[in-house]
Amino acid sequence: FFFPPFVSTAWVGALSMGVIFFCSPIVSLFTDLFGCRKTATGGAALAFVGLIASSFVTCIEPLYFTYGIVFACGCSFSYQPSLVILGQYFKKRLGLVNGIVTAGSSVFTITLPFLLTELLEKVGFHHTLRVLSIFVFVLFLAGLTYKPVIQQKDKSAGKKRKFKCPPVNKIFNVNIWKFLGYRIWAFGIPTALFGYFVPYVHLMNYVKETFGEKEKKEVLLMCIGITSAIGRLIFGRVADYVPGINKVYLQVSSFFVIGLMSIMIPLCKVFGGLIAVCLFMGLFDGCFISIMAPIAFELVGAQNMSQAIGFLLGLMSIPMTFGPPVAGFLRDSLGSYDVAFYLAGIPPIIGGLVLCSIPWIERRKLKQKEQHQTGAGETEEKVLDKTNQVLVPGAANGMKKESESVI
């Protein structure tokens, strides 16, 4: 089918974003089988090849493959191990570390558009992609620093074995789905994300239609990027002080605030109000992103963390792909973004309410476990008491007979 140039370009970007998250379950399998270092470096190399190949493309159609699939798959394989490896290095400060690592994306979100604008004007599209491939090569070098802590323990055994096909339970870790808290978390977050990204995708067009070209709409994205970086640092540190699974409440608060801010977008009649909304939205967006890995660690443990994050990101790809197009369809049908933003604020609130049940379920499970252990301990004490009652009288009679014989 024929697409206008701007529609085709949008589809390439949407395809790449969907592929990055959709490949996450597969990435988790490779991470468990081959480790974080090999997976990350292999993904960076694939992304480098895809970006270089895209720089030689002269029409839009090959970009669907070189950029939308090859480059996106490479990004997916290099992204997820960067989160998983942190769980091997850090325990007490895992939230802070995740905040620092994820804050880097916000920094580039703020600065990279200015660099890209200058590069596109001075060197053109193809050379811009080649310059960006340098950043991707840095990912390859960074992946080489992922020292496999868990695998290092296995090598210390001194047995070198050839690669064998691992068991099915190693390839598909079904243990993560045995945790009720994780099942709720894995389906509650995609529910919230159906409307989560609608403001990020359609906000620029809304500003253009509502306030015209006189307002600098790029300021809104800059505000979201700045406060998102601040939020990742702040809430990542706060998460270290929140005990156990109660970290979920931080994510719940982020969904509530983002849903409320989405509903408030059509109510802002001045541009300054939109700036305030974007500041709060970015702050709690950073909260949501920075504590994903710590929550996964609390729900399934470090050994199961890779596939837990992978399957979650894979499920997230569905609402991320279909939510914004549905909002665009509502705008085309109704002639306004108002209803789209109102409805976009509902799924994050519903998803937050669903996540509220996780701490209660985990505390109840822990309480039942303690009661079971207490009951088992009491039963053991009763058995010991009965044993003593049987042994003590016999011993007493023996002592009595012994005393009589002595007399």
Cα distances from 349 to residues 192, 195, 345, 355, in angstroms, run 7, 10, 7, 10
What is the rounded average pLDDT of the residues 4-32? 65
Q: Residue 177 belongs to what domain range?
A: 5-147+170-368
Q: What does the block give as tokens for 377?
A: 């301990």
Do the domain assignments include residue 198?
yes
Name the residue among 222, 165, 182 with its Cα closest to residue 357.
Answer: 182
Supply the pLDDT for residue 385.
Answer: 60
Mean pLDDT of the chain: 78
In a domain, 153, yes or no: no
Q: What is the pLDDT of residue 110?
A: 75
For residue range 53-83, what is the model confidence (pLDDT) as tens digits?
988 888 777 887 888 888 888 888 888 788 7
pLDDT of the residue at 48: 93
Q: What was the pLDDT predicted at 114?
A: 76
In a domain, 175, yes or no: yes
Q: Is residue 180 situated within a structural domain?
A: yes
Number of domains in the chain: 1
Write out pLDDT tens, residues 100-126.
877 777 777 777 777 877 888 888 888
Question: Residue 86 maps to which CATH number?
Answer: 1.20.1250.20
Instruction: State the pTM of this model.
Output: 0.72
Number of neighbouring beta carbons within 10 Å of residue 397: 10
Assigned domain for 398 exists: no
DSSP 223-257: HHHHHHHHHHHHHHHHHHHS-GGGGHHHHHHHHHH
Confirm whether 290 is domain-assigned. Answer: yes
User: Measuring CA to CA, which residue among 44, 245, 215 is closest to residue 133?
Assistant: 44
Residue 149 has pLDDT above 70, yes or no: no
- Residue 327 located in a structural domain: yes
pLDDT digits (tens, 9 = 90+) for 150-200: 544 444 444 444 555 555 555 666 778 888 888 899 889 988 888 887 887
